[in-house]
Structure 1
Amino acid sequence: MQRYFVPAHTWSDKTIKITGDDVHHIKRVMRFQAGDEIICNHPDGQAAICQITFLDNQVVYADIVDWLTHHAELPVDIAIAQALPKGDKLEWILQKGTELGAHRFLPFQAARSVVKWEERRKEKKVKRWHKIVKEASEQSHRNKIPAVDPCKGLSEIIEASKDYDFALFAYEEEAKSEQHQSLGSALAKLEKKQSLLVCIGPEGGFSDEEVKFLKENEFQAIRLGPRILRTETAALYTLASISYHFEEMRCSSCQQ
């Protein structure tokens, strides 16, 4: 069933009003008609099966039929601080990272980022990023849309990390060390309902100064397996590992 995220102010006790781009998708792309059912998500994470009662080119009205109890969010809040990569890699990370359950994305300008953030294009870029995570949330039947921050500097990532229970950064030198800390050992310390920020470097990795700065501010260096991953792979490896650790491995152990 097709899912749509609908702003809170358009909900009433029994009826939902849908406007904007979703109207075009409902009417022109999906070709829904009065009587068809869709799923509507409230920003607080609740979702309901709704039946369309009226639609034209500007607005769709739907009545709430039944509230859903299924939740598809990770049991921990995971933020990905991603150094700006080349090309359209960030859009790929946003889309796939949303499907894998990320709670928030914080793009940042790293010392070795080839791409340079253009402040004049900020509004257009952030708007596109929000569109990407919204559509990925609908496709993957998320209960919430991840937040996407405007591009920051590393100092702002450090400041943001104070809102999280743990802060890690993927460091390729950890993969070469026998005394490394693995992602698995870090996740063993994380409990449900806690939060974690993971910082991923650009194609050229973190500079020595950035590594020092992160460690001085209580970021723990981790390795993501014994192989060196591309920057666009690292975030997805992290999220997939977290999903397995909290949603599959623990679920399986509970059933035994």
Structure 2
Amino acid sequence: MKPGDCFEVVTADKKVAVMELEEIAEHSATARVCKEIEHTVELPLQVTIVCGLSKKDKADWIVQKATELGAQHFIFFSGDYSIVKWDKKKQEKKLVRLRKIIRGASEQSHRVMVPTVSYIENIKTLQLEKYSEKMVAYEEAAKEGETASLAKLVSRVKKQQRSIKDLHLVAVFGPEGGISPAEIQYLKSNDFSLTGLGPRIMRAETAPLYLLSALSYALELN
């Protein structure tokens, strides 16, 4: 960049400003605020995406695209049907890579926050106290034609429009093999709704994107 070039800055309190570069020194640069931007880019509902570990680079794909679609937190876990395992040596390396992907996707999509990502050993170690809405995408529910759960979730959220920013949805998705009966039983016992995402069975990396797209349409465009 050179003096006269413009760029955007997001401040710690999530305000956005257009800056003009004025001077570049050896180890520093000076810029001035041209204007502040008032725009809403964050989903009105806070969403945590919880995914079972899948093969290859699917975690990369999920965090990149779901960041662009507005997810605010990601948690990966080793599911009963997960083929892939992250040992302790691999965990931190994987998380560093995912954080880098998330930051790039946040910049590309002009987010005002950088989503978080973490790893837990299994679904039973997920901390549930902070979530006001809980769902698990369940392919057996989809096969049986379950269509009401997601619509009811959206309806509940819309009724609380004034306090929607205080709501926090956690959505659990299984790996390629799906969610095991034991995991489903645990989630049901903790008030998770078994949610079908349409009549088609989606890949592990597609389902979270479907949910976020549906939420965006229902809460931001409709």
* 2:143 aligned with 1:176: yes
Contact 1:182/1:224 (<8 A) preserved: no
Corresponding residue for residue 154 of structure 2: 187
Deviations 1:78-137 (A, max 9, x none): 110011111001100100000000011111111111110121122222111111111111
Q: Secondary structure at the match of 1:231?
A: coil
Q: Equivalences for 1:193-232 in 2 at 5 Å?
A: 193=165, 194-232=167-205
Question: How many residue pairs are counted as aligned between the two chains?
Answer: 216
* 2:131 aligned with 1:164: yes
Corresponding residue for residue 252 of structure 1: none
Contact 1:106/1:152 (<8 A) preserved: no
- Return 5+ residue gaps in structure 2 as ranges: none
Q: Counterpart amino acid of 1:172?
A: E
Q: Equivalences for 1:1-256 in 2 at 5 Å?
A: 32-55=1-24, 58-157=27-126, 159=127, 161-178=128-145, 181-190=148-157, 191=160, 192-193=164-165, 194-249=167-222
Q: Secondary structure at the match of 1:133?
A: helix
Q: Secondary structure at the match of 2:135?
A: strand
Q: Tell me how far 1:151 sits from its aligned partner.
A: 4.1
Contact 1:110/1:206 (<8 A) preserved: yes
Q: Tell me how far 1:152 sits from its aligned partner.
A: 4.0
Q: Secondary structure at the match of 1:53?
A: strand
Q: Counterpart amino acid of 1:199?
A: V
Residue 67 and residue 140 in structure 1: after superposition, are their counterparts in 2 closer, same or farther (change >3 A)?
same
TM-score, normalising length from structure 1?
0.79
Contact 1:117/1:151 (<8 A) preserved: no
Provide the C-alpha distance between the structure 2 equivalents of 1:59 and 1:183, rounded to a whole number of angstroms. 50
The percent of aligned pairs where both chains have the same amino acid is 38
Residue 242 and residue 57 in structure 1: after superposition, are their counterparts in 2 closer, same or farther (change >3 A)?
farther
Contact 1:44/1:144 (<8 A) preserved: no
Q: Tell me how far 1:179 sits from its aligned partner.
A: 5.6
Q: Counterpart amino acid of 1:234?
A: A
Compute the RMSD of aligned alpha carbons: 1.7
Q: Secondary structure at the match of 2:34?
A: strand
Contact 1:109/1:151 (<8 A) preserved: yes
Q: Secondary structure at the match of 2:156?
A: coil
Residue 240 and residue 180 in structure 1: after superposition, are their counterparts in 2 closer, same or farther (change >3 A)?
closer
Deviations 1:159-194 (A, max 9, x none): 2x3201111000111112256643222221123222
- Return 5+ residue gaps in structure 1 as ranges: 1-31, 250-256
Deviations 1:10-66 (A, max 9, x none): xxxxxxxxxxxxxxxxxxxxxx11221100112331111111133367544322222
Contact 2:149/2:193 (<8 A) preserved: no
Q: Counterpart amino acid of 2:59?
A: L
Q: Counterpart amino acid of 2:43?
A: L
Query: Comparing both chains, which one has the higher relative contact order based on Cα–Cα distances under 8 Å and sequence gaps of 6 or more?
Result: 2
Q: Counterpart amino acid of 2:190?
A: N
Moved more, 63-72 or 131-140: 63-72
Provide the C-alpha distance between the structure 2 equivalents of 1:245 and 1:178, rounded to a whole number of angstroms. 21
TM-score, normalising length from structure 2?
0.91
Q: Counterpart amino acid of 1:96?
A: K
Q: Secondary structure at the match of 1:247?
A: helix
Q: Tell me how far 1:205 sits from its aligned partner.
A: 0.5
